[in-house]
Structure formats: C-alpha cells, structure tokens
Amino acid sequence: MNKFYSLIALALLAVAAPAQAAPAHPVLLISIDGLPPADVFQARKLGLKLPVLSRLVQTGTYATAVHNALATQTYPDHITLITGVWPRDHHVDFNAWFDPLRKPQVRPWRAPDIKVPTLFGAVHRSGGVVAAIGWPVTAGASDIDQNIPEYGRVQHPEDITEAMAQITPGLLPRLERETSIPFRIVYGNHVPHDAARARYVAAMLTDFKPRLLAVHMSSLDNAEHHGGPASREAYEALEAIDSEVGAMMAAARKAQPDSVIAVVSDHGFAPVQHDVELAPAFVAAGLITLDNAGKITAWQAQPWAASGSFAVILARPRDAALKAKVAGLLKRITADPRNGLGQMIDEKQIAAMGGSRQASFWVDCLPGYEPGSKLTGDMVVAPLNKGTHGYLPTYPQMWSSFFLQGPGIAAHQSLGEIDMRDIAPTLARIAGASLPSATGKPLF
C-alpha cells in the first residue's frame, strides 16, 4: 500500500509541477524584400541557383505562401512582420505618409510611428540583446541595443550623413574597423550594398551574440522594379542574396550554435506594362483644385498611390454627399477595363483586410498596370517601372515567403498557407519572449 500511495503522490506532483519552458534560441531574422515563394520552390525549373534557400526547404519548416497586409508594400508588411497586427492597428499604412499637397514624400522612419508593441521590444524586455540593420521604421528605437536603421528619403547618397546620425553611438566605427567596409558601401539597395550589409551582420553576430538580429536585404526588390520580376537582373540579385544568406547563417551558428534562422519576405511581385494616372479624373471632377503652376491648392478627395493600388482618401470622410460623389466617379472609371483599374472596395472591406483607417475606398489596378502620381495628362501612360507590388493581398502574386530552420524545427515540413500576423509571435516564442498584443498566434 505504501508503494501504491507513493506512486500516486509522484503522479500528483508531476501534474501539479509547472511545465518546463522551452529553451530560448537566438533568432537571425533575414528579410529578402520582394521574394515570391515560387522563386525558391521552383528554382531548378526557373534555372535559378539557390542552394542555401533550397536547402532550407529540405532541412526546415516553411510556408507555401504568406498572406500579407493591405497595402502589400515594404513598410506596412515589415511592421506586420514584427508586430503580428495589420497596418490598421500598427498605423504604418503606406511606404510614405499621406500628404494631400504632395510635397516630396516622407517615409515613416521613426520607431514611435509604430503604435503597438514589437518583437524587438518583447525580446529586449525578456533580457535578450537585440540588433537590427536596415529594418524599416526603427530609427530611435529604444529597445534595439545595436541598431543601423533604414533612414533617408529613398536611400540617396546625399542622405548618408543624416542616416549615420541615427546609428547606435559607437557601433559604426567598430563595424567599419572590423570589416574594412565604409558605411557608404552598406547604405543603398543594390547587390553590393546587400553584400556589405551581410558582412556587418556577421560582425554584429560575433561581437554581440544577440538573442534577435533582424536584417533587411533590399537589392532583389530594387532589381524587380527596374528589370521586372523573373528578369535576369532580378535573378542575379536573388542568387547573390542566396550566397549572403548562407554566410550570415554560418556566422550565426558559429557565434551561437543553437541559433534559429528565419527567412521572410514582405510581398511578391508582378510585371508592369502601363501606368494609370487616376488623379486627373479627380481634378476634372472638381475634387482637386490646381493653380496655374499645377500645384494643389485645395482638395476634397484624392487617390494616394500604394504601388499596385490606390487608397482613396477624403478630406471629410463622414460627408455622405462627398462619399457618394467619389463612389460614383470610381464606379464609372473602373467599369471600363481600358482604364487599367480593377476591383474597388469600401471602408468595411478595407477594415476586414486590416488596411488604413484613412482610406474610404481602395482601388486595385489590373495586372500589368501600376499607379502613377501625375495630376494632369492622359490616364494610361508608359510605365515608370517594369515590376511592382502593392496590389490587394487577395492577389496570389503578392503573397510572401517564410522559411525556418534550426534546433527543434521540423525538417521538410510544410505549414501550407499562413497569415503574416503569425510570424512575430512565433519568433517571440522561439526567442524566449512573448508578444500578447499580436492578433496572430504562434505557429507551433
């Protein structure tokens, strides 16, 4: 009997004892801007040499597609990746702040522009060192211990001095000395810039052994805009990034052997043959007033280009007559496919997709068309780019990528299609932190 009761007591203790927390792993988070998942899964068929990314499929867990944010742009999606909420909640709605007077565009650079907790903050509060290089909307982030934020209007060389002022004090001289790479070679969005950025990442991994290091690689996106998706220019950029991912993974595993590697992207890409100028129709309808120099002097409603779609913003969003006038104009224009415009959605549908609180309507461009920003002239004109993103997130070509590999991560396991909001809480859990503010849930 004594033996029986002893066994019962041991069983009760086992039930009552708190579960052992999963071990925290350092996370290297690599964002490859503009990477469609098909480029990895069909690399051999496409003639792409991607040994590192292809190996992640065989040795890790992956999504066949990631359903992303409205708008499917770099900044809204990158902030969803680190918050687990849609732009409607984190408030980084577009790649540039809406400006009704259309002065030179200003991007949302500073961390306080994010209105919800982030993965960076979660890991920092848990006691881990956090580092980042090139991640959007991180300038002035108090919870990133070693930070080289993305900063500048469009990474123009003349912005480099201001960008340097945003870097964690003492970090840049250290990295330049250790790598022999000056910051001007890191600051930009071409293949050599990404290669130099990877060298900085390796040094940061070695020096600081962060619990979380996030890096944004931007040369593929740049090549896809200029050369088009599936262009030789884009494929050469991706093959170069593949090599750099391998080097960063090796540096992470050397610095901290139990590191988990997460490779993500923000959006996919689509080819472009035409630009659509929607604003001239608003001028003709009296919704935008121009002076003799073609500058905006007054406005009631106007389209704001979001790469592959337009957010339509009203000066008085609760004005029923104005809303009806704009809705009628958009219905007439979108009814003719020659105008290059597709689906129009209203406020309720925008809210359901997690899009901007500023927009009263959203108009998607048809495949092959991208928004322009001219206020006068023809509606359909020659394109500025050969490829773009920013279409509605229901468009499969906009879906993005997720690959995960490391200790405790199953090999060759498909998660199927996932919600982008699930990525931040998943990475928080792996890093030994939690992100309860996320509306997504950990994948494991």
How much is the pLDDT for 294? Answer: 95
Residues (pLDDT < 70) of the chain are 1-21, 153-157
CA distances from 326 to 157, 315, 400 (A): 40, 12, 32
Which two structure tokens, joined as six digits, stand for 259?
């590191």
β-strand partners of 305: 310
Q: Is the dihedral of CA 48, 53, 54, 55 positive or negative?
A: positive
How much is the pLDDT for 104? Answer: 72
- If one looks up domain 27-269+395-430 in CATH, what number appears? 3.40.720.10
Distance CA 30, CA 216 (A): 6
CB 74 within 8 A of CB 95: yes
Amino acid at 91: H
Distance CA 407, CA 44 (A): 27
CB 36 within 8 A of CB 224: no
Which tens digits make up the pLDDT trace of 9-21?
Answer: 433 333 333 444 5
Neighbour tally for 234: CB within 10 Å: 26
How much is the pLDDT for 155? Answer: 52
Fold of 271-388: Gyrase A; domain 2 (3.30.1360)
DSSP H helices in 17-101: 37-41, 43-46, 51-59, 74-83, 87-90
How much is the pLDDT for 344? Answer: 97
Distance CA 326, CA 60 (A): 49
Dihedral angle computed from the Cα positions of residues 372, 374, 379 and 385, in that order, rounded to the nearest 10 degrees: -30
- End-to-end Cα distance, the chain: 42
Q: What are phi and psi of 405, to 5 degrees?
A: -150, 140
Distance CA 389, CA 84 (A): 21
DSSP one-letter string for 192-219: HHHHHHHHHHHHHHHHH--SEEEEEE-H
Neighbour tally for 439: CB within 10 Å: 17
Per-residue b/e over 360-383, b at no fewer than 16 CB within 10 Å? Answer: bbbbbbbeebbbbeebeeebbeeb
How much is the pLDDT for 161? Answer: 87
CA distances from 199 to 203, 243, 249, 259, 421 (A): 6, 12, 12, 18, 30
CB 61 within 8 A of CB 410: yes
Closest CA to 284 of 384, 378, 362, 382: 378
Is the preceding omega at residue 17 within 30 degrees of 0, hence cis?
A: no
Domain map (residue ranges) of the chain: 27-269+395-430, 271-388
Q: 19: which DSSP letter?
A: P
Closest CA to 30 of 218, 268, 254: 218
How much is the pLDDT for 5? Answer: 38
Q: At what angle do helices 191-208 and 171-179 cross, to 10 degrees?
A: 110
How much is the pLDDT for 368? Answer: 97
User: If you compute the radius of gyration of the chain from its CA atoms, what whole number of angstroms results?
Assistant: 23
Contacts of 302 (CB under 8 A, 6+ apart): 100, 279, 282, 287, 288, 312, 313
Tokens 């050969």, located at residue: 386
Which two structure tokens, joined as six digits, stand for 282?
């608003």
